[in-house]
């Protein structure tokens, strides 16, 4: 059964724009390859972190709404941990269903 999830991903703010877009694209491609569907992507931009992560005081925040089988979530989180561009991530079951489809 597919559920709708939200994932907040904090990317390294020192990435060039094309590297950042490639990282966002990799995340979407990973979900699509597992039978999922990216419903919406919101780029929130660079924001100050609450605490230092890998000697970074800021991060580039991206919010993903996606639909995928729940069995793919552990593998998805593992792939985010392995990605050097990702500083932190959080994946939760979505309470809201996004109505529009926006891809950055």
With beta carbons less than 8 A apart as the criterion, state whether 79 and 89 touch. Answer: no
Q: Report the CATH architecture of 2-93.
A: 2-Layer Sandwich (3.30)
Assign 95 to helix, strand or coil.
coil
- This prediction has a pTM of 0.86
Q: What is the pLDDT of residues 37-71, one digit of tens each?
A: 999 999 999 999 999 999 999 999 999 999 999 99
What are the residues whose beta carbons fall under 8 Å from the beta carbon of 100, sequence distance 6 or more? 40
CA pair distance 22, 85, nearest whole angstrom: 10
For the chain, give the percent of residues with pLDDT over 70.
91
Report how far residue 50's alpha carbon sits from residue 73's, in angstroms, rounded to the nearest whole number.
26
Q: Which residues pair with 56 in a beta bridge?
A: 53
């Amino acid at each position: 059964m597919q559920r709708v999830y939200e994932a907040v991903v904090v990317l390294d703010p020192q990435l060039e724009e094309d590297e950042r877009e490639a990282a966002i694209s990799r995340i979407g491609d990973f979900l699509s390859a597992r039978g999922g569907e990216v419903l919406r992507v919101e780029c929130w931009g660079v924001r100050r972190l609450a605490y230092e992560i890998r000697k970074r005081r800021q991060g580039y925040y991206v919010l993903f709404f996606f639909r995928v089988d729940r069995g793919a979530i552990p593998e998805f989180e593992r792939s985010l941990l392995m990605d050097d561009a990702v500083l932190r991530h959080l994946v939760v079951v979505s309470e809201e269903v996004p109505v529009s489809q926006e891809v950055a």
